Structure 1
Amino acid sequence: MPSGADGGRTAWARNLAAPIRRFLHAETGGAIVLVGATLVALLWANSPWSDSYASVWGMRLAISLGDHAIATDLRGWVNEGLMTLFFLVVGLEAKRELDLGELRERRRLTVPVMAGLGGMVAAAAVYLAINAGGDGAAGWGAAVSTDTALALGALALLTHGRAIRLRVFLLTVVVIDDLVALAVIAIAYSDAIDPVALAVAVGFFAVLLALRYAGSWRGPAAAAAGVGMWLALFESGIDPVITGLLVGLVSTAYPPSRDDLERSTERARSFREQPTPELAYQARASLTSAISLNERLQYRLLPWTSQVIVPLFALANAGVHFDGDLLSGAAASRVTIGIVAAYVVGKPLGITGAAWIATRRAMGGQRPTVTWPVLVGGAAAAGIGFTVSLLVASLAFTGPTLDEAKIGVLVTALASPAVSWVAFAIVRHLPDELRARQLGAVAGQIVDLADDVDPGRDHIRGPVDAPVTLIEYGDFECPYCAAAEPVIARLLEAFGAELRYVWRHLPLTDVHPNAQLAAEAAEAAARQGAFWEMHDRLLAHQDDLAVSDLYRHAAALELDLERFSDDLGRRRTAPRVAEDVAGADASGVSGTPTFFVNGRRHQGVYDVDTLTREIKAAAGALRPVPPSR
């Protein structure tokens, strides 16, 4: 039996941690580190050693190869070099949502895309209304872009990491935001653009697109093309950080297929029998390719970007030397006031208003994926400017005006989360009737399950007509399936008439040699009305699944042994097991146990508390909406 931390996790979660929850945990920790780095920068810039702040980050560094050199200061290497990796992770996560998540249904893009554009337009309009005709008008680009790291981190902290659908909505908003903001930098804030270098960058991007269809060598080739694209953009005069976002958006995500996993197991077994360098390389390559490059890059880069690179960016850019003149000037500065008003007022209003317009019938009538009160709280969290804002401010302003702009950006990092906290506090105290009505207007979850439950075919525990269905794809020889049994029993007892449980077969024959025959034995018992009795016995005796053991289990259950032997010997139940396996493949299931709640795949831990929350959420979504008064 499994024990320890892995005892309550699905194979999917053990081998490939649920990307959404991993991202949430990284954002929460990263936001805390980011705040700490910002405080260090402010303390450093206002300490007796404040002169060293400017001298350290202004230090010139160059990489030379013959007569060619790339030179910028240390701050520039952070802003234009390391931050490319941050935008790469953002692009990777967005692409994963497009391929595997909520946004794989493309029409669901309408609301967040329009919300992202609306938020930027409204923020720019507010800033320009305050700075119209003044010298600060040129810095409007510093007031439009949401800081991805801080916004998602603040959301994770404010919602305790549970607002998964809101995070997906906000992630889409900030990706659109980042793409437009980087385009604004390229068009409005870049020096004279070198068309030849830009054409070379476009050529490298075309190579990246083509490499998606290449073989196992595409990883190194794609890395080389990405570096080439960055260098070309650097030489062109366009901020090269957009390279990361574009590379991420062309990196396809896909779940590990059962065929790939079985091939990996076979090659690992071959290496175990003949440990040669060639077989070691083949086994490693097979294991690696089973997981998409998108997921592998996220796994490697996310801790570095959230815990090191973004805080380093804050350390390099947030250091503002405060004095009485600067603070009094900022309090009256139209640049400072414009940035704060744009983010705290314009951004949330623009996101909410544009999302509302996108849901009108004239725009297709697409439902939002979150309730309107919750969306308002998320829109307020999007009013945090930092990374791109400081980047644009450093391009648009110099001297005291730049410091005033930085103060405005820092104020938004405090004010917007406070507004978001108030919004979520109000949501928590809304009447149950209003909250239920709001839930009724939300777009439903995308169903991941390929085959609906058929009471005439499927094995069901609990009321056949229960409103919530918990499906498990399992393997009788899998120790994690056995570990899940007490959890399932407690859930069935706790929810009573509200829950039905369905077992479907997925024997992992490459690692569990007795699993297929055990599944067929369970189906043979089902022919005699004893499926669940055999199911329980097989999971309780996982070390006794040989043919002779299966006959002994049948005898203990007082089955007709002659009939059981005939069904098992002639493999009459093998097609029934194969149907379940085909359904698992169609649903993207590759490991056991894998759970579905009302057709939606459950990711991560499967302890009682986690599954209870998910079942309650599914039951709540099905309750009738109270009529309007």
Structure 2
Amino acid sequence: MAFVGIIIARRFSRTIGRQVAVILGIAMWFCLLLSGIDPVVSGLAIGLATTAYVPLRTDLERATGLVRQFREMPTPQLAHSATTGLTDSLSENERILFRLSPWTSYVVVPIFALANAGVVITPELLARAAGSAVTIGIVLGYIVGKPISLAGTAWVLYKISGGRIRPQVGWLSVIGSGTAAGVGFTVSLLVASIALNGSSLAEAKIGIFLSVVGSALLTWAVFKSVRFIPSVKRTRALVGSPDRSQDLLTPVDSDVDHIRGTIHPAVTLVEYGDFECGYCGRAAPTAEALLERHPDLAFVWRHLPLSDVHPNALRAAEATEAAGAQGAFWQMHDMLMGHQDKLSPADLESYAVQIGIDPERFMDDLRSRAYADRVSADIRSADQSGAAGTPTYFINGQRHEGPYDIESLSAAINTARAHTLEAVQSEDR
């Protein structure tokens, strides 16, 4: 009942729901403890019920408004509201992970490992473990059972769903993930310490340590085996078949979008950006380097001016469109990226002169907001695809999660290219 209450509490307001969930979580822990069931189960269940989602632009704008109110009137009440607003714009999962990761990584796990891993290895213990059903069972369970269960479950789901539910990687990678799963030891030590004692516990710990080493070696062997797979099938084995689903709900249109790079791309990189965003400014050279590194890449810029924090961003976006009407979108784009702190109307007019377009026509378009609808269309497409911050990248229609340095984006581009090649080969077959 407590767990059901936690799920229901998620529907309350965030502050009240969180408080109710904490009380019910503690109650659930004590109930399991008193019933004889290991209370660690409560943590696993609550973790599954913890929400995770991408921040919404409306929540981010609301948080920005609260910060602005505090800036205008710095009172304790508004400071509390701003802090709460900023916190609530992120998912519960991200907030908990941020708060607890240092403690779990550097305190809890090391103390647990040191407290539970202690065993004196002697020739007698090793000889006894070699014939122990406990040791052999653990080793087989991790080195053999883990890969079979993980890959087997994925294969069964793939079959019974008719291919609709499938891994996002190739089957060789799935098997490698299964072998790597045998490397974990903390939960194994916890279960062993609860279920066993004396010599059986010592034999179990030997089995766990052997499993860690064996699983690591087996994982290495699985991925090394890729060299023996014919090159035509190697891509599918590692990255799988291409994912037909799209995160980018507004497809790239060469008649509307601003595109840089090849006209026949194998990979298309879409960036939603803001000309006053410092992160976008730092990422701009990355896009240029990617185009040099990947000749088959097309780079698409779409506007997402964050007007609540960048007062000049919307005007800058419209300025690039006004320049684009005279065939100079990318020249103005590069100029603004290099002068993000100077985006006043006078600055924009001087840039128009520098890039060689008609400044009078440019300023008329800017004053009349002739291209406001064009920028608004990009903003709507960003909302539809869940792009709330800048820069946000989509690679062949799939949202890029993670760092956006050149190496990370380049690796994602290579994967997308492999998927495209696989799709072409599938159609040829």
Query: Shared fold (TM-score greater than 0.5)?
Result: yes
| Structure 1: distance between partners of 2:261 and 2:153 | 45
> In the alignment, does 2:355 pair up with 1:569?
no
> In the alignment, does 2:52 pair up with 1:262?
no
Query: 1:344 touches 1:380 (CA, 8 Å); kept in 2?
Result: yes
Determine which of 265, 270, 277 is the counterpart of 2:76: 277
Write out per-residue CA displacement over residues 558-584 of structure 1, whole angstroms, 9 at most, x where no aligned residue. Answer: 434443333222222111111111111
| CA 382–445 in structure 1, closer or farther in 2 if over 3 Å, else same | farther
Q: Which residue does 2:143 correspond to in 1? A: 344
Q: Which residue does 1:599 correspond to in 2? A: 397
| Structure 1: distance between partners of 2:283 and 2:291 | 13
Query: 1:271 touches 1:283 (CA, 8 Å); kept in 2?
Result: yes
Determine which of 422, 425, 428 is the counterpart of 1:625: 425
> In the alignment, does 2:422 pair up with 1:613?
no
Q: Which residue does 1:79 correspond to in 2? A: none
**C-alpha displacement of 1:318:** 1.9
What pairs up with 1:41-440 in 2 under 5 angstroms? 203-215=1-13, 216-360=15-159, 363-365=161-163, 366-384=165-183, 386-428=185-227, 430-438=229-237
Q: Which residue does 1:454 correspond to in 2? A: 253
Tell me the TM-score normalised to structure 1 length. Answer: 0.63
Query: 2:169 touches 2:239 (CA, 8 Å); kept in 1?
Result: no
| Structure 1: distance between partners of 2:184 and 2:314 | 56
Determine which of 309, 313, 316 is the counterpart of 1:511: 309
Determine which of 526, 540, 557 is the counterpart of 2:338: 540
Query: 1:367 touches 1:443 (CA, 8 Å); kept in 2?
Result: no
The runs of 5 or more residues in structure 1 that have no matched partner are 1-202
SS at 1:595's partner residue? strand
| CA 265–351 in structure 1, closer or farther in 2 if over 3 Å, else same | closer
| Structure 2: distance between partners of 1:363 and 1:488 | 39
Query: 2:168 touches 2:239 (CA, 8 Å); kept in 1?
Result: no
Tell me the TM-score normalised to structure 2 length. Answer: 0.91
| CA 437–287 in structure 1, closer or farther in 2 if over 3 Å, else same | closer
The residue identity in structure 1 corresponding to 2:23 is A
SS at 2:264's partner residue? coil
| CA 604–345 in structure 1, closer or farther in 2 if over 3 Å, else same | closer
| Structure 2: distance between partners of 1:435 and 1:441 | 9
Deviates more, 1:271-280 or 1:343-352: 343-352
The runs of 5 or more residues in structure 2 that have no matched partner are none
- Cα root mean square deviation, aligned: 2.5
SS at 1:359's partner residue? helix
Determine which of 266, 270, 278 is the counterpart of 1:479: 278
Write out per-residue CA displacement over residues 530-563 of structure 1, whole angstroms, 9 at most, x where no aligned residue. Answer: 2122222222222332122223323334434443
The residue identity in structure 2 corresponding to 1:390 is L
**C-alpha displacement of 1:423:** 1.5
> In the alignment, does 2:382 pair up with 1:584?
yes
The residue identity in structure 2 corresponding to 1:333 is S
Q: Which residue does 1:492 correspond to in 2? A: 291
Write out per-residue CA displacement over residues 584-617 of structure 1, whole angstroms, 9 at most, x where no aligned residue. Answer: 1222222222222112222333333222222222
| CA 282–363 in structure 1, closer or farther in 2 if over 3 Å, else same | closer
Query: 2:33 touches 2:39 (CA, 8 Å); kept in 1?
Result: yes
The count of aligned residue pairs is 425
**C-alpha displacement of 1:260:** 1.8
- Greater RCO (Cα-Cα under 8 Å, separation 6 or more): 1
